[in-house]
Chains A and B, each alone.
Chain A
Amino acid sequence: MLKTRLIAVVVIKGEVAVQSYEFKRYLPIGDPRVVVDYLNRWGVDEIVLLDIDATRGSRRPNFELLKACAHLCHVPVAFGGGIASLDDVSAAIYSGADKVVINSAALRLPSVVSDGALRFGNQSIIAAIDARSCGQGRYEAFGHSGTIPAACSPTELAKKFEASGAGEVLVTSIDRDGSKRGYDLELVTQIQSAVSLPVIACGGVGHPTHFLDAARIRVSGLAAANFFNHSEHSVLVAKRYLSAAGASVRLDHDAEKDRDRFDELGRTDKKEDPYLDSLYIERFVEEVI
């Protein structure tokens, strides 16, 4: 059975991976290559690298950094930020990206999506929609990292992207970005109803239960940026939470599959003392491939 994907979004500003808050404030995390290396080891299902300086047009997409990060990954890597032409799509793919995320450019030049899909296949193109709530279940889509309004609604945009040949849709709530209030499920549901493509939700995860809420409405991918950088083994902890709750996720890890308890912030609680006393040190021999 196809599993729901846990997707880590690594937001990159300059040469630094950052935490993002409502697309306005950014706090540094560190070297993107280290972030990607850890995520890969922690069993993440897919990684999205977003170069936000390139999105804002201040420079060309950072293909060198993409190459360095892709080198460390044995899971699919999608790259986005400033992809504005078929040449950019090609450059990203040849630098190691398995998929390309297109947002703003597609608003100005829809042929980027269709040309990219024709050359590299629909599955290589993820159409990204960033949206803000206008209240009463209405939303407005934006390009350029939330700064320029798109000419149409998120659902209309999603339909256009599908018609142009995109393989997946990544929908991000700008309001929820960094808020830890959970995904904007109304927005996600509207996009799911508008297209027949797989939809990835993003924006707002603060607790593993937010992943569960979206898994229950059968999204294809559960994406988060800040969340995976808040604690060690965040990917594994989230997957174990989801698995214990009955969600269908890939859990191929050697760590013991014991049931975790979580505090109100979504961090694993300390195990009971009698249990800790009963543990003994076991030598774990790493499998050599």
Chain B
Amino acid sequence: MGRSGIAIVNCGLGNIGSVANALEWLQEPYFLADGVTDLNDASGIILPGVGAFSAAMQRLGDSGLLDELRNQIYGRHKPVLGICIGMQILARTSEEGGLHSGLGWLDASVVKLQPGDALRVPHVGWNNVSTVRPSRLFKGIDNGAHFYFDHSYRFVCDSSFVTSVCDYGGAFNASIESGNIFATQFHPEKSQRNGLKLLRNFGAICREYR
């Protein structure tokens, strides 16, 4: 009998505390997927985002959850939200720390953010997110709302997946959506009210799935 609620997949990617705190504040049932192999009763999955790409891929592989995640996300179409590095690992490849393979669940690649000389990297702080097509994840959130970013690489994919963009020396993809797969480059768990609203919306998406 598996645990129920939203599964936070902690593969040693770093701080899952902030995501857990946010869900607790929202009173959305969740559990940490540490040492869990059965995600059948999870209502949804969050892949939280601190860590270097190759370390994250390594640990996800070591966690033994990879097959179960594929099964839940591809087989059972469970909603999944990737955050920051959790978004980037969905791609086929990343340039961070050399060329590495990601999960390849989306036809995308991760490349270095090169905003131009006047702007520093990492892109760190609060920036405006502009929605480019309607998304259930942004329900009730103003267009141009501020979210917290902290990254040196960006997610490149076909525009049909892109739900919002952000400007830092040019536009880059701030969030994507493809069926039951959602992902944000920014950190909703660190973005105060806007972030809490987004996580509430993800909670609603997970409840609809059930």
Any chain B CB within 8 A of the CB of A3?
yes
* Contact segment of B64-72, B157-165, B190-198: B190-198
Contacts A95-B17, A289-B196: A45 and B126 contacting too (C-beta < 8 A)? yes
Docked pose: A81 CA to B195 CA in angstroms: 29
Interface residues of B in 69-87 (CB under 8 A from A): 85
Do A220 and B124 touch across chains, with their CB atoms under 8 A apart?
A: yes
Residues on A with C-beta less than 8 A from B194 are: 252
Residue interface mask B103-146, A partner, CB < 8 A = 1: 00000000000000001111111111000000000000000011
Out of B120, B146, B152, B192, name the residue touching A123 (CB < 8 Å). B152
Do B124 and A121 touch across chains, with their CB atoms under 8 A apart?
A: no
Any chain A CB within 8 A of the CB of B95?
no
Smallest beta-carbon distance B171→chain A, Å:
12
Contacts A1-B128, A167-B124, A197-B120: A76 and B150 contacting too (C-beta < 8 A)? yes
A interface residues (Cβ-Cβ under 8 A, vs B): 1-5, 40, 43, 45-46, 67, 70-71, 73-76, 93-98, 117-124, 167-168, 196-199, 220-221, 250, 252, 287, 289
Docked pose: A167 CA to B96 CA in angstroms: 14
Residues on B with C-beta less than 8 A from A197 are: 120-122
Residues on A with C-beta less than 8 A from B193 are: 74, 252, 287, 289
Do B125 and A221 touch across chains, with their CB atoms under 8 A apart?
A: yes
- Other 7 A-B pairs with CB < 8 A, given A76-B148, A98-B15, A220-B120: A46-B125, A74-B22, A93-B14, A124-B50, A196-B121, A252-B192, A289-B200
Out of A40, A93, A199, A220, name the residue touching B50 (CB < 8 Å). A93
Out of A2, A71, A76, name the residue touching B123 (CB < 8 Å). A2
Residues on A with C-beta less than 8 A from B126 are: 2-3, 5, 45, 250
Smallest beta-carbon distance B146→chain A, Å:
5
Any chain A CB within 8 A of the CB of B189?
yes
Docked pose: A40 CA to B148 CA in angstroms: 14
Smallest beta-carbon distance B85→chain A, Å:
7
Any chain A CB within 8 A of the CB of B62?
no
5 inter-chain pairs at a CB distance below 8 angstroms, sorted by A residue, are A5-B125, A74-B189, A97-B15, A119-B52, A250-B126
Docked pose: A98 CA to B186 CA in angstroms: 13
Residues on B with C-beta less than 8 A from A94 are: 15, 17
Smallest beta-carbon distance A242→chain B, Å:
13
Out of B17, B26, B149, B151, name the residue touching A289 (CB < 8 Å). B26
Docked pose: A203 CA to B197 CA in angstroms: 35
Docked pose: A252 CA to B167 CA in angstroms: 19
Contacts A123-B124, A124-B50: A96 and B15 contacting too (C-beta < 8 A)? yes
Any chain A CB within 8 A of the CB of B178?
no
Residues on A with C-beta less than 8 A from B99 are: none
Smallest beta-carbon distance A206→chain B, Å:
24
Docked pose: A256 CA to B18 CA in angstroms: 30
Docked pose: A132 CA to B123 CA in angstroms: 29
Do B167 and A118 touch across chains, with their CB atoms under 8 A apart?
A: no
Residues on A with C-beta less than 8 A from B31 are: none
Docked pose: A31 CA to B26 CA in angstroms: 25
Docked pose: A122 CA to B126 CA in angstroms: 18
Do B192 and A74 touch across chains, with their CB atoms under 8 A apart?
A: yes
Contacts A120-B51, A121-B52, A198-B124: A70 and B190 contacting too (C-beta < 8 A)? no
Contacts A2-B168, A70-B17, A289-B26: A118 and B52 contacting too (C-beta < 8 A)? yes
Do A117 and B52 touch across chains, with their CB atoms under 8 A apart?
A: yes
Do A167 and B122 touch across chains, with their CB atoms under 8 A apart?
A: yes
Smallest beta-carbon distance B114→chain A, Å:
12
Out of A167, A199, A250, name the residue touching B146 (CB < 8 Å). A250
Across the interface, name the chain B residue whose C-beta is closest to A45.
Answer: B126
Do B190 and A76 touch across chains, with their CB atoms under 8 A apart?
A: yes
Residues on A with C-beta less than 8 A from B167 are: 1
Smallest beta-carbon distance A240→chain B, Å:
16
Residues on B with C-beta less than 8 A from A199 are: 120
Residues on B with C-beta less than 8 A from A121 are: 14, 50-52, 55, 85
Contacts A5-B126, A120-B52: A93 and B15 contacting too (C-beta < 8 A)? yes
Smallest beta-carbon distance B166→chain A, Å:
9
Do A123 and B151 touch across chains, with their CB atoms under 8 A apart?
A: yes
Docked pose: A220 CA to B118 CA in angstroms: 12
Do B55 and A119 touch across chains, with their CB atoms under 8 A apart?
A: yes
Do A98 and B120 touch across chains, with their CB atoms under 8 A apart?
A: no
Across the interface, name the chain A residue whose C-beta is closest to B188.
Answer: A74
Docked pose: A95 CA to B16 CA in angstroms: 9
Do A123 and B122 touch across chains, with their CB atoms under 8 A apart?
A: yes
